[in-house]
Amino acid sequence: MPTTDRPNILFIMSDDHAFRAISAYGGGLNHTPNIDRLARDGLRHDACYVTNSICTPARAAILTGTYNHVNLVTTLDTHMDNRLPNVARHLRAGGYRTGMFGKWHLGEGPAHEPVGFDEWCVFPGQGDYFDPVMIDRDGPRTVPGYATDIVTDQCLDFIDRHGAQDKDQPFFLMCHHKAPHRHFQCHPRHRHLWQDEDLPIPENFDDDYSNRAAAAEAARMRVRRDMTYEDLGLVQPEGGAEVGELLWSEGRLRLIPDLAEGESIDLLCAESGEIFHFDDPAELARFKYQRYIKRYLRTVQAIDDSVGRLLDRLEETGQAENTLVIYTSDQGFFLGEHGWFDKRFMYEESLKAPFLVRHPAGITAGTTTRRIACNVDFAPTFLDYAGLPVPSYMQGNSLRPMFEDRLGEDWDDLAYHRYWMHNDIFHHAWAHYGVRDDRYKLIHWYNDDLGQLGARPNDAQPEWELFDCQEDPFEMQNLAKDPAHAEVFRRMLGKLDRRMADIGDVPEHDSGAVLAELGLA
């Protein structure tokens, strides 16, 4: 068995799993007893933030411990150059047996496939839920079954071969689920959940986006108007624009229309054949939300099953005491807050990821913390537990002192986020960056996908948002131009400038000009 200085590391990551969809966080939506075991037996983190709330950049930040302007993975289309160093390479060189199974999403082919792993088997691109194609060193093959269960089986096999049997070499295992990513497809064993009940609708579901930056209203992520028939498990009728706008010009998926006064619509359930009739826009919007949230949560449930199977295997083989287990998501997700689905934005539901960790040998059971952590901190944390040096190129810090309640006063409670994909064709999310401290959030909508090299398309003018996340947790009131919060704005702008300078990102704003414009110079 590895010594307590060299624990096994099991890193479980889902895709788009909102913290509110884990019962340990008290969201009141679903019950996740196995993920909750990590909170009960270890630590629940309540302030873990991502540096870019989109799949590919988030994964690059986790693997390299660097911000995306450094690893150059800034969008869904900028894949990682696998010549770069990463945490798996360091762990493997340091004596760990390394494995990676599930969603990779950092590109395929010799230049982008996983490196640093003794074994790997991944989905191409997003992957399919049922009978997915998977790629390993021998090439692609179809694997029968349900994606979440398949990835779990592969990880259990790895644990059995390199954990329980190989007593002298610890393992580092990345278990990366594609669930619950859109388009949501649950395992048949969970289709019955919430059949006879409705789930609560967020109080700001009907947000009118007043007193916010223009980006909020421009976004095409609204449950009531921007979901497809496939999203909601409905049959898409034959026809053209009369049955719904195309999701994108070269695709086939159409958006379910919203209703105008005097109109009606019939929708057909793809599973049961039931027909739903609507002639009221508000009733249709609520129906869409219920279909969305239930399909999403049912897809989550197999992940909870997976976590239970993995934890049980560690206990059965006597490895639980000395295995660091982490559960997280690549980012958060909107579950109807502000009327939205998806992620991308720096608003809390998208920025904040669930983060639960168990290590019985060092973490007190039932611990919670609100000290700020970021996903660039994950790689240094792994290396710290492995007893290996953190290389100078990594920009994060080990979270182990936070886990073990010995964090010093010099810890910087600040998260930095930047999103580059300005006005993408699907979601119309605008480019922005900003910082979040223990109370306030400052966002700069610079609205330019090329940064200083390009021009702002569509006349999207730069804007600022400031939120008091303690008094306004739903982020409904922009205080950027509020005279009563002028000093807060100045202080947060200073924090933003210092963080960008520290990590080497180039600002798209001139702080002197910003302060002068707001009368704060």
Measured distance between the N- and C-terminal CA atoms of the chain, rounded to whole angstroms? 62
Residue pLDDT, tens place only, 113-126: 999 999 999 999 99
Amino acid at 450: L
The answer on 123 and 24 residing in a single domain is yes
Q: 379, 403, 427: which is the final residue of a domain?
A: 403
Q: What is the maximal distance between C-alpha atoms in the chain?
A: 72
Q: How high is the pLDDT of residue 450?
A: 63
Pull the structure tokens for residue 456: 């702002």
The answer on 23 and 152 residing in a single domain is yes
Pull the structure tokens for residue 232: 């909601």
pLDDT at 266 over 50: yes
The answer to the question of residue 238 being in a domain is no
Greatest mean pLDDT among 21-25, 419-423, 515-519: 21-25
485 lies in which domain range? 415-517
Pull the structure tokens for residue 45: 């983190």
Q: Are 393 and 371 in contact (CB under 8 A)?
A: no
Comparing CA positions, the residue from 405, 399, 370, 396 lying closest to residue 385 is 399
Burial of residue 106 (CB within 10 Å: 0-12, 13-18, 19+) is buried
361: number of Cβ within 10 Å = 13
The answer to the question of residue 101 being in a domain is yes
The answer to the question of residue 254 being in a domain is no
Report the DSSP beta bridge partners of residue 49.
352, 374
Q: How high is the pLDDT of residue 164?
A: 62
The answer on 434 and 385 residing in a single domain is no
Q: Are 353 and 375 in contact (CB under 8 A)?
A: yes
Q: How high is the pLDDT of residue 517?
A: 86
Q: How high is the pLDDT of residue 115?
A: 96
pLDDT at 5 over 80: no
Residue range 88-98: average pLDDT? 97
In the numeric block, the tokens 């093959």 are attached to 141
pLDDT at 253 over 90: yes
The answer on 511 and 425 residing in a single domain is yes
The answer on 447 and 325 residing in a single domain is no
The mean pLDDT value of the chain amounts to 94
Distance, in Å, from the CA atom of 290 to the CA atom of 278, rounded to the nearest integer, reads 14
Residue range 12-37: average pLDDT? 97
The answer to the question of residue 192 being in a domain is no
Task: Work out the pLDDT band at 461, boundaries 50, 70, 90.
Answer: confident
The answer to the question of residue 2 being in a domain is no
Distance, in Å, from the CA atom of 188 to the CA atom of 202, rounded to the nearest integer, reads 27
The answer on 435 and 302 residing in a single domain is no
The answer on 420 and 478 residing in a single domain is yes
The answer to the question of residue 133 being in a domain is yes
Distance, in Å, from the CA atom of 269 to the CA atom of 283, rounded to the nearest integer, reads 17
What CATH number did the domain enclosing 399 receive? 3.40.720.10
Q: How high is the pLDDT of residue 1?
A: 33
The answer on 102 and 55 residing in a single domain is yes
Alpha helical stretches, state H, 124-273:
147-159, 214-218
The verdict on whether omega for the bond into residue 180 sits within 30 degrees of 0, i.e. cis, is: yes
Comparing CA positions, the residue from 414, 418, 293, 448 lying closest to residue 345 is 418
In the numeric block, the tokens 């070499």 are attached to 169
What CATH number did the domain enclosing 481 receive? 3.30.1120.10
Q: How high is the pLDDT of residue 167?
A: 66
Comparing CA positions, the residue from 322, 342, 346 lying closest to residue 333 is 342
Q: Is the pTM of this model over 0.75?
A: yes
Comparing CA positions, the residue from 99, 107, 66 lying closest to residue 85 is 66
Distance, in Å, from the CA atom of 272 to the CA atom of 29, rounded to the nearest integer, reads 24
Which residues does 88 contact at the CB level (< 8 Å), separation at least 6? 63, 98, 100, 114, 115, 116, 117, 172, 174
Q: 354, 372, 403: which is the final residue of a domain?
A: 403
The answer on 505 and 434 residing in a single domain is yes
The answer on 163 and 45 residing in a single domain is yes
Give the chain's domain count.
Answer: 2
The answer on 180 and 73 residing in a single domain is yes
The answer to the question of residue 423 being in a domain is yes
Residue pLDDT, tens place only, 184-239: 999 999 999 999 999 999 999 999 999 999 999 999 999 999 999 999 999 999 99
The answer to the question of residue 468 being in a domain is yes
Comparing CA positions, the residue from 182, 477, 144, 143 lying closest to residue 344 is 182
pLDDT at 501 over 80: yes
Residue pLDDT, tens place only, 44-82: 999 999 999 999 999 999 999 999 999 999 999 999 999
The answer on 449 and 478 residing in a single domain is yes
